[in-house]
Amino acid sequence: MSFYAYKDIIEAGDLVLAFISRGATKPITVTPGEVLNTRYGQFEHDLMIGMKYGSQMAGKKGYGFIHLLHPTPELWTLSLPHRTQIVYTPDSSYIVQRLGVGPGSRIIEAGTGSASFTHSFARSVGDKGKVFTYEFHEVRYNEAKRELEEHGLMKNTVITHRNVCDDGFEIDNHKVDGDVVFLDLPSPWTAIPHLNKVIAEDRQVGICCFSPCIEQVEKTVKALEDDGWTSIEMVEVAGKRWEARKDMVKHVDDVVKRLKDIQDRKSQGIEKLRNVNSTAPSEVSSTESTPEPPSKKQKRDRGFNPFGKGTRIKEGDDQYEWRDVTKVESEIKSHTSYLTFAYKNPNRKV
């Protein structure tokens, strides 16, 4: 199992991301004898061994199912144990693209936090690149280190327990030589002056500082300017997913006719009720049975019903007129922060 490459078949000891529902993906290490308990049923690890990644797995009692997914940094971001706020894929993908992160890039990241972005960096830079990540909180550092080791990411990642604002980024036995810097810290402006000792001199270096409030951005911009960074720009990724669907076309004439029809039938009903009430019980024939109440279908079939009101209509049903519309899906996971970008050595592209 690896975040760098895919494999087909699940083996004991592998990390599987169990996709339970849209908002719930659970990471599990496949362990013989263990069972994954979910609200949709129980899933035995033994049965996962030998299955293909991506398969649908039925619950023990035959109802409910989950999907067994191969880990990727993007899915890991949705399922990891949170120890801090994390960077979600709408932001990380934008940063990776804008700073040109790719095979061979050398990343400087602080702080590591829950190592959400570290996974993405490690996968993107490949075996020719390097990720130097720093975390000053000891428990978080240990957790992140264990996780990176378990996920096989130490091949190209170096994690350091350090307060970068006080002690900078230099590492014994390593020339950092970073060309991409990502700072997700409360006070990046105190870390920026330390960067000069560890960033590349022979090629362009890009930086992104991730800060939730504009006062932090102002201080960061000032520190970047003071330190000779150029092309400073701040952006915010306001991720929205657009849902495309069909909406039934309703002509005003039809709507008016339908309203009139409803009103007419209501009046007729009231009239009928009045007649029944005014008939003395003796006048009602004892042989006349009470009429059955109309069925739902009878109710629907009566009257003018151009929009299928009260019936179950499939979107796009060709008996009705439709137009294509889009709608914003409000729930999208992204920790909205301001992203401040800047560059050094802008003309030295390698």
Give contact residues for ligand SAM (rule: CB under 6 A).
Answer: 84-87, 110-111, 113-117, 134-137, 140, 163-165, 184-186
Task: Please report how the helices 89-98 and 116-125 are oriented relative to each other, as an axis angle in degrees rounded to 10.
Answer: 40
- Cβ proximity to ligand SAM: between 71 and 111 the closer is 111
- Cβ proximity to ligand SAM: between 19 and 182 the closer is 182
- Please tell me the distance from the alpha carbon of residue 272 to that of residue 266, in angstroms, as a whole number: 10
Is 14 labelled a binding residue? no
Q: Which residues contact 151 (CB under 8 A, 6 or more apart)?
A: 2, 3, 15, 71, 119
* C-alpha 206: how far from chain center: 26
Q: What minimum distance in Å lies between the beta carbon of 2 and ligand SAM?
A: 20
Q: What minimum distance in Å lies between the beta carbon of 137 and ligand SAM?
A: 4
Please report the beta strands in the chain, taking only residues with DSSP state E, as ranges in sequence order: 15-21, 24-29, 35-38, 41-44, 56-58, 65-69, 106-110, 130-135, 157-161, 180-183, 205-211, 230-236, 241-248, 322-329, 338-344
* 208 three-class SS: strand
- Cβ proximity to ligand SAM: between 10 and 87 the closer is 87
Q: What minimum distance in Å lies between the beta carbon of 19 and ligand SAM?
A: 21
Q: What minimum distance in Å lies between the beta carbon of 210 and ligand SAM?
A: 7
Q: Which two tokens stand for residue 145?
A: 């280190």
Is 135 labelled a binding residue? yes
Please report the beta strands in 276-333, taking only residues with DSSP state E, as ranges in sequence order: 322-329
Q: What is the CA radius of gyration of the chain?
A: 31
Q: Which two tokens stand for residue 295?
A: 């069925």
- Cβ proximity to ligand SAM: between 14 and 184 the closer is 184
| H-run or E-run covering 238 | none
- Cβ proximity to ligand SAM: between 111 and 129 the closer is 111
Q: What minimum distance in Å lies between the beta carbon of 118 and ligand SAM?
A: 7
Residue (of 55, 53, 73, 57) closest to 8 by Cα position: 53
Q: What minimum distance in Å lies between the beta carbon of 174 and ligand SAM?
A: 17
Q: What minimum distance in Å lies between the beta carbon of 163 and ligand SAM?
A: 4
Residue (of 19, 18, 42) closest to 30 by Cα position: 18
Q: Which two tokens stand for residue 165?
A: 């604002």
Backbone angles phi, psi at 117, to 5 degrees: -70, -30
- Cβ proximity to ligand SAM: between 117 and 341 the closer is 117
Q: Which two tokens stand for residue 275?
A: 């007649």
- Cβ proximity to ligand SAM: between 41 and 71 the closer is 71
- Cβ proximity to ligand SAM: between 148 and 342 the closer is 148
Q: What minimum distance in Å lies between the beta carbon of 18 and ligand SAM?
A: 21
- Please tell me the distance from the alpha carbon of residue 208 to that of residue 342, in angstroms, as a whole number: 7
Cα-Cα-Cα-Cα dihedral sign, residues 171, 210, 214, 138: negative
Which residue ranges are tagged as binding site for S-adenosyl-L-methionine?
135, 184
